[in-house]
Each structure stands twice: as structure tokens, then as C-alpha cells.
Amino acid sequence: MSMIDGGVESPVCDDLLPATVRLGESGGLGAFDDMYLATELLRFTASHPGVPHFVRAYRPEPTVAFSRKESLLPGFAAALTAAASFGFTPVIRPTGGRAVAMDQSCLVIDVIDPMPRRHEGHRLAYARVAGALATALESLGVDARVGEVSGEFCPGEFSVNARGVVKVVGISQRVISGARLVSAMVAIEQPGVLPAVLAEVNRELDFAWRIETFGSVATEVGAVDFSAVSEALQNSLCIAADREAGVNGHLENALRNTARNIVEVRDLAPVYANLFTAPGAPAPGESGGAH
């Protein structure tokens, strides 16, 4: 166990994801498709009792991911234009929080939990993931801590920061009946244009933050091997290829086939995009926000 600011214990490794299917790291499918796939895999998990925990890790295409609540703000249309002016695709993500800019210098890790621990609240779910990622970053030489940095983008209690000065990992969450999605965006390589993109987007949304709080693994330790960092992060979440006994093989195969089928039916992604960007569309049931 490790202690998070605020007194929440963060179980890591064996207690985190006791039976997990690892879908593996890949390149992003594209901004809309990545969000659509996360949503559909969440729904699949909720509708199949007994399915194991699983993860998808990917390097996103240039994307600015907004929350549904932000899409209702007066400056949202201008924020979309600002994102597009940098060549970033604006999307509505299934989780809560504030805008996040990401590209292939980053790693997104989506952890899907069938929620067998129904007593577990949002804060403990955040603490589990944040603690595991902080442990991995510490092993890579980052002075990683869990907690909000004053003035950070997409602020949250369970951000993972470096030295208490810059944010390195943002975590958001969505819960539906029977399943939970915890999504982490890890800035690994040099941030490049990301702070500038976010500065313009947040200016249009009238959200004050300090651009100097945008950090990454590389800004802390120098040049990095992306694959090695990715592997360390995933292993710390206890999602290595070796899984504990008791994983239902039939459900595991169904899960993999479902992911494959969703990826192949790519023309459905625009439907997802239209659903969440249409004026007056209902909120997608996000809960837990960003931390």
C-alpha cells in the first residue's frame, strides 16, 4: 500500500487488477474511433458478468478531448476552431473533466473494470490507478507524486505530478451500471506543441491555468524509450500477459473479438461523434470527473 494525499490508501500490483486481459499497445485509431472503442468496450464489460478486467494502451493521434459539460460552455465553438487550427481533432470523450491535448508523444491507458467491488467508490478507484502509475514513474527516475498541482490543466486530486511542480498524468473516469472506465493520459516525450494548443483552447473556454505546469516524463529525466516507459506503466497496473487463474477463457475470447469487430466497423465512429456533438444531445452519463 502507498498513501495518497488526503489519507486514501492506494493498493497496487496484485490487489489492483486481480484478473486482467491485456489488449496491448497500439497506434491510435483516430480521435473519434478511439473514443468510440472505449465506450463500446465499457458497454461490453457491463453486459457480460464475469468478464475480466482489461486494458487498452495506445498512442493517440493529435486530439483535444473535451468533456460533455465543456461542450455546453459559451466558448466551446471557438475552442473547437482553436484545436483545429493546430491540426488537432476535437472530440467529446466519455469521461469527465476539462480539456486535454494529446498526440503521439503521449500514451493513453484505458482500464475497464467490471466492478466486482461494488463498495469501491470513485476516489479509491482513482487512487488505485494513480498510485500504480506513480510507482512506475518513480522506477523510471521521476519524482512522482499523487496530487493536484496549483494551476494545472484539467485539475484533479489524483493527478500524478513530478516534484509537486508539473503535471505528468491526468486521470478521468466514467461509471455505468456494471462497469467502470478509468482513463489515464501520460505525457511521455517532450510536450512539443501541446501546451500551446491547450493554452488557446482554454483561453476560449475562459479557463485559467498555468502553462508551465505541463510536464512529461522526458522533461524530468531526459530522453526516454517510449516502449520501455509504456511497458513499465502497464506492468505496474498488474496487466502483464500472465494472468491469474480463473479468467473465463470464453469471455476473454469474446472480449478480444468484440474489440476486433469494433475496430473493423469503422464507419460507426461518426455516429458516436454526432451523438455527442449534436446541439441538445443528452449527456452520456459521465461521472467521477477528472483527477
Does residue 194 form part of some domain? yes
Does residue 160 form part of some domain? yes
Alpha carbons within 13 A on the beta-carbon side of 275: 15
Which three three-digit cell numbers place residue 111? 482500464
Does residue 76 form part of some domain? yes
From the CB of residue 129, how many other CB atoms can be counted at a distance below 10 Å?
Answer: 28
Q: Where are the alpha helices (DSSP H) in 205-268?
A: 217-221, 226-236, 249-264
Q: What is the pLDDT of residue 124?
A: 84
Q: How far apart are CA 218 and CA 225, in angstroms?
A: 9
Within 8 A by CB and 6+ apart from 154, the residues are 97, 98, 99, 100, 170, 172, 290
Does residue 288 form part of some domain? no
**Average pLDDT value over all residues in the chain:** 77
Question: Could you read off the pLDDT of 12-36 as tens digits, one per residue?
Answer: 333 444 445 555 555 567 788 888 8
Does residue 279 form part of some domain? no
| SS3 of 162-200 | ECCCEEEEEEEEEEECCEEEEEEEEECCCCCCHHHHHHH
Question: Could you read off the pLDDT of 143-192 as tens digits, one per residue?
Answer: 999 999 999 999 999 999 999 999 999 999 999 888 889 999 999 999 99
Question: Could you read off the pLDDT of 31-62 as tens digits, one per residue?
Answer: 888 888 888 888 888 887 777 777 788 899 99
Q: What is the pLDDT of residue 48?
A: 77
Q: Residue 16 maps to which CATH number?
A: 3.30.930.10
Percent of residues, the chain, with pLDDT higher than 90: 48
Q: What is the pLDDT of residue 259?
A: 55
Mean pLDDT of 112-134: 79
Q: How far apart are CA 136 and CA 9, in angstroms?
A: 17
**Count of the separate structural domains present in the chain:** 1
Burial, 41: exposed, middle or buried (Cβ in 10 Å; 0-12, 13-18, 19+)? buried
30: left (phi over 0), alpha (psi -120 to 50) or beta: left
Q: What is the pLDDT of residue 28?
A: 64
Mean pLDDT of 264-291: 40
Does residue 47 form part of some domain? yes
Does residue 290 form part of some domain? no
Judge whether 60 and 30 are in contact, CB under 8 Å: no
